[in-house]
Structure 1
Amino acid sequence: MKKIILFLPILALFLAGCDGGDSNSSTSGTSDDSSTSTAEPLPPPVVSDINGEEISHEANDGDIIKLMHMNDTHGSIEYLPDNNEPGMAYIAGYVNEKRAQENTDVVLLSSGDMFQGSLDSNINQGKLMLDIMKEMRFDSMSIGNHEFDWGVDVLAENAQYALDSDTGDWAFPFLSGNILGPEGQYEFGHLSTTFNRGPARISIIGSIDSGVYDSIDGPIVAGYEFVNAASMVISEAQRLRASGSDIIIYSTHDVDKRVAQTIANNVDAIFTGHNHHNSVLTMTSSTSKTIPIIESSSNGRALGEVDFIYDAETDSYELGTYKNTNVLDGVISLIEDEGVQAIYDRYLDAPAQDGPVSSDSLRSLKNDKIGEITSDSKYVAYDDVNIPQSDVATMFLYAQLEAYIDSYDIVGSCYNKSRSAWTVGDITYADIYKAFPFDNATVIVAATGAQLKTWSTTTVYVDGISKTTLDNNTVYQIVTSTYIINNREEGKFNSIVNIDEDIFQRHVFYQQFLEATTPNPWG
């Protein structure tokens, strides 16, 4: 039987916050201010020995604890070598190789944004990725801004699913102990997890930076606060060190590649996410130790690796090599993890539905042709092959304009950007999904010319109208998304004319491709 040792009063609070009750679990994230507690919040929850691992042996000189790290994977489960995306089965194979090395034990962690970004992951709201992470034996995942994208109910469900050993042979916690809920208590994430690995006692502390708050659709996190985590991280690191942890790791989803010096003074390694940087930096602690700070690109394009080597003379783990590794660098032999691939295949072969778009299998939904862009398109780069992200976005803007211009008196189409580039050839729903993965409803707003002139988000207008020719006093209609009006152009319009709550950008683009009778429908 697995042994789980928890700080029980704190865990009870966490589970109460995750069970889907009360106003703070609605997908809008709103709360009644009159009911918000003014009492001091209880400390955020921590978890210990969740998988019941025992110390395997007494440490020997030269034993290695290898930390392996991912961030901002964004649902990149499929092997896509043209995008330099190894896919999770090959990443798992690489991790397995490291686990098999002599005198080496692996700690595997994520600094957030694991789910949102692909049809594979989004259509099941992260469950496929969670099943894969359990199969790979992840030790923790710090919460990123995109973990909120499906609302706080789904975030709470996914956190509990990861923590539940009944949904697989392995369990791991979501970390980020600084998310303060509308009721004045910490929610969703544990502050730390501690466990035995090989001969060592390991602790991971997690947080989400307040700087990523504005990256989340406003109504979802209304009433929530990402409090400054520095003091709680430092206190927790000191508590863990005093309790016997050999290696203390800090994992954060953070807009800044560096962290406070006071945090670096109290931990042994730092991993970050959010910026999609392939970054290896260092800080020097107050005791002259080198502290590696690693962010590992995105979409599985890099894995962070930090080695700690046991020194028998000092009876401590000393920093060894630290780096990011590209699994597709041509040097590493690709080995597929059969268990991970089997999980993926099971999901691929199941019926799939994404709002108005459906198929008898996820595999068909991903791969069936719905349109074509040829090298003759004006949006193709000079190499006659690639379609830059900005031009994918422009095609979408014209498609969105076409979709609504006959039903509404709109003069423009607005959206911020595509998340991926394309190449010429057949276009599939998977291509569209990767470019526009977010569940942002399509909305038509009325705004004066003066208001629209203050908008900074990319907009295309009907022929004969441009931003500079708008009359300041005339009221116009624009089609855009709820994310744009809630987060980027908030308050810069008069009224909402219509919201298609269940029609997202990818659905609009998909339908316009289906209705097109020729390749290159937008030139």
Structure 2
Amino acid sequence: MKLLKRLSCIIMLFVFGIVMAGCQTTETNKVVEKLTILTINDFHGALEETNGEYGIARLANNFAEVTKNSEATVIISAGDMFQGTAISNYDHGKTFIDIMNEMKFDAMALGNHEFDWGLEVMQAYQDGDKSNGEANFPFLGCNIIEKSTGQLPKGVKEYQIIERGGLKIGIIGYIGYGIEEDIAVKMVENYQFTYPTTAVANVAKKLRTEENVDVVIAVGHEGTGSNESIAALTGDSKVDAIINGHTHTRYSGTIKDKDGIDVPYIQTGSAGKYYGVIELSINKDTKKVEGGTAVTKSNKTGAKSKNIEKIVDNLVEETAPVFKRVIGVATREVTRYDGASWAATALKDYANADIAFINIGGIRAQAFPIKQGEEITVSKIYEIAPFDNALKTVKLKGSDVKTLINLFTTSLNVTKDAINDEIYIDGVKLEMDKEYLVATIDYLFDNKDYPFYKGTDQVTTGILFKDILVDRVEKDQTIK
């Protein structure tokens, strides 16, 4: 009798377990009415807070709060995440990768600055070897083609498929056409970027017809340039939402597709000051997207993730002896353009050249203004000029120097007489046939669109531009 009772209990527990498992499966597969997409772009290594505001720990908490209050959430980056601050550059974004894993990013489109250290650095985060760091999410770029093979580079995928909220979701990554121009020649010479819309259309069709996805999201390291054409894709190539990056602007909106459905698009500025929230409305019966909205939200204040804060604090402590070292104090407020002219002059003086040229894009806006009385650290210089650009010198004729003066930021010893169309270097009129010793950075020098390659006595020093700036501040104890 006791045996029968025991068997009955076991059978009842077994049946109860099957029923509960069925309930859990049903709940997991339940189709949501709203799919939430959290976005970020062009974070540029801004892991630390700025005067008690922003920072990755605060972003992590904001993402967690939105996720907690949403039916289903996808987290996506539109690229340029790592390069830009001393502590992120310190380990080539390895710690940042760990943070993104902790935050459960689903995918990331590659940006131009993911090429800055050589694409092989990013590829190492996808090689399966956890000892050198490993991303738990893919790097996407459906239109990044390796010239030697005609295929995607190793470690780069066209798309990622995830299942969330009872939906099968395809995420396509792309990079803007022509953005090769924003990458050092030696870092991108083996790759080409094809037209985004064509590539996205082909991948979207594959996702819908072969992978049977319900939702397609396109994330591109590009401004709005391709948005209209991507939103206009129809049928099996239809895209339901678009995430932008690269231009460091903040916007959100919708574009009506040919069926009158709102396709949301978004970009969140840069340095983690804002993040994006896209909400897609889902028909629970058909699993089709019936429209969407997009908004940017501030990351300025709020609680911080304790786990992420600890990771950042440990990295700051580890690197403090190098990067937190005070090397000067600002004697007046320094704007970005003040900083650019000063940096070009420091380059000229270091090389003992007649004139120096830099591009304003290499002097980062997020580092400014520098307030009067503010301490200048090594970290601040690396924030001003984070890239591994190196000094090159060359002798150029005055006619080529004039061309460059009209294109780039120059050292402070250059003046212009706009009325008479004359240029003076150190107060002496520029002579078209005379040779001048010119200092610049390899990012500009190696670009054959500019006349540096035509000059004589070309010298590659290998000396980093940012280290020259550190030396100059140490010498002057300020930014003059």
- TM-score tier by shorter-chain length is 0.7 to 0.9
Match of 1:513 in 2: 473
1:181 aligns with 2:181: no
| Closer/same/farther in 2, CA of residues 317 and 461 from structure 1, 3 Å limit | closer
| Structure-2 separation of matches of 1:489 and 1:228 | 22
Match of 1:441 in 2: 390
1:368 aligns with 2:339: no
TM-score, with normalisation over the residues of structure 2?
Answer: 0.83
| Closer/same/farther in 2, CA of residues 300 and 393 from structure 1, 3 Å limit | same
Match of 2:167 in 1: 200
Match of 1:88 in 2: 56
| Structure-2 separation of matches of 1:91 and 1:488 | 41
Aligned-pair CA distance for 1:467 = 9.1
Structure 1: which amino acid aligns with 2:37? L
Match of 1:100 in 2: 68
| Closer/same/farther in 2, CA of residues 343 and 264 from structure 1, 3 Å limit | farther
| Closer/same/farther in 2, CA of residues 317 and 57 from structure 1, 3 Å limit | farther
Aligned-pair CA distance for 1:320 = 4.5
1:57 aligns with 2:14: no
Structure 1: which amino acid aligns with 2:409? T
CA contact under 8 A between 1:99 and 1:105: conserved in structure 2?
yes
Count of residue correspondences = 431
Match of 1:346 in 2: 314
Aligned-pair CA distance for 1:81 = 4.3
Match of 2:207 in 1: 240
Structure 1: which amino acid aligns with 2:177? S
Out of 207, 215, 218, the residue aligned to residue 185 of structure 2 is: 218
Match of 2:371 in 1: 423
Structure 1: which amino acid aligns with 2:143? N
Q: Secondary structure at the match of 2:403?
A: coil
Match of 1:49 in 2: none
Structure 1: which amino acid aligns with 2:57? A
| Structure-1 separation of matches of 2:479 and 2:110 | 40
CA contact under 8 A between 1:412 and 1:478: conserved in structure 2?
yes
| Closer/same/farther in 2, CA of residues 190 and 56 from structure 1, 3 Å limit | farther
1:337 aligns with 2:280: no
| Closer/same/farther in 2, CA of residues 218 and 228 from structure 1, 3 Å limit | same
Match of 2:98 in 1: 131
1:112 aligns with 2:79: yes
Aligned-pair CA distance for 1:262 = 5.1
1:437-476 to 2 correspondence within 5 Å?
Answer: 437-455=386-404, 456-460=407-411, 462=413, 465=425, 469-476=429-436
Match of 2:460 in 1: 499
| Closer/same/farther in 2, CA of residues 167 and 504 from structure 1, 3 Å limit | closer
| Closer/same/farther in 2, CA of residues 123 and 467 from structure 1, 3 Å limit | farther
Match of 1:70 in 2: 40
Aligned-pair CA distance for 1:466 = 5.3
Cα deviation, 1:358-391, whole Å, max 9, x if unaligned, reads xxxx12323221001123xxxx3xxxxxx21000
| Closer/same/farther in 2, CA of residues 257 and 88 from structure 1, 3 Å limit | farther
Cα deviation, 1:315-373, whole Å, max 9, x if unaligned, reads 54443442111122x5xxx12112222222332233xxxxxxxxxxx123232210011
Match of 1:280 in 2: 252
| Structure-1 separation of matches of 2:123 and 2:135 | 18
CA contact under 8 A between 2:33 and 2:284: conserved in structure 1?
no
| Structure-2 separation of matches of 1:56 and 1:233 | 33
Structure 1: which amino acid aligns with 2:455? N
CA contact under 8 A between 1:309 and 1:318: conserved in structure 2?
yes
Aligned-pair CA distance for 1:198 = 3.0
Structure 2: which amino acid aligns with 1:186? L
Match of 1:480 in 2: 440
User: Identity rate of aligned residues, in percent?
Assistant: 27
Moved more, 442-451 or 410-419: 410-419
Q: Structure 1: any 5+ residue segments left out of the alignment?
A: 1-53, 351-361, 381-386
| Structure-1 separation of matches of 2:338 and 2:193 | 35
Aligned-pair CA distance for 1:63 = 4.0
| Structure-1 separation of matches of 2:375 and 2:243 | 38
| Closer/same/farther in 2, CA of residues 169 and 440 from structure 1, 3 Å limit | closer
| Structure-1 separation of matches of 2:86 and 2:324 | 11
Aligned-pair CA distance for 1:511 = 0.8
Aligned-pair CA distance for 1:499 = 2.0
TM-score, with normalisation over the residues of structure 1?
Answer: 0.77
| Structure-2 separation of matches of 1:467 and 1:137 | 58
Cα deviation, 1:34-59, whole Å, max 9, x if unaligned, reads xxxxxxxxxxxxxxxxxxxx996232
Aligned-pair CA distance for 1:521 = 5.6
Cα deviation, 1:90-138, whole Å, max 9, x if unaligned, reads 100001111212x522100011111111111112112121111111110
Moved more, 202-211 or 239-248: 239-248
Moved more, 258-267 or 72-81: 258-267
Q: Secondary structure at the match of 2:127?
A: helix
Structure 1: which amino acid aligns with 2:435? V
| Closer/same/farther in 2, CA of residues 166 and 107 from structure 1, 3 Å limit | farther
Aligned-pair CA distance for 1:438 = 0.7
Structure 2: which amino acid aligns with 1:177? C
Aligned-pair CA distance for 1:512 = 1.4
| Structure-2 separation of matches of 1:318 and 1:166 | 44
CA contact under 8 A between 1:175 and 1:189: conserved in structure 2?
yes
Aligned-pair CA distance for 1:487 = 2.9
| Closer/same/farther in 2, CA of residues 159 and 274 from structure 1, 3 Å limit | farther
Aligned-pair CA distance for 1:474 = 1.5
Question: Which of structures 1 and 2 has the bigger CA Rg?
Answer: 2
Structure 2: which amino acid aligns with 1:415? I
CA contact under 8 A between 2:127 and 2:134: conserved in structure 1?
no
Q: Which one has a larger percent helix, Structure 1 or Structure 2?
A: 2
Match of 2:113 in 1: 146
| Closer/same/farther in 2, CA of residues 260 and 245 from structure 1, 3 Å limit | same
Structure 2: which amino acid aligns with 1:500? T
Out of 241, 257, 282, the residue aligned to residue 269 of structure 1 is: 241
Q: Secondary structure at the match of 1:91?
A: helix
Q: Secondary structure at the match of 1:104?
A: coil
| Structure-1 separation of matches of 2:263 and 2:426 | 52
Aligned-pair CA distance for 1:312 = 3.6
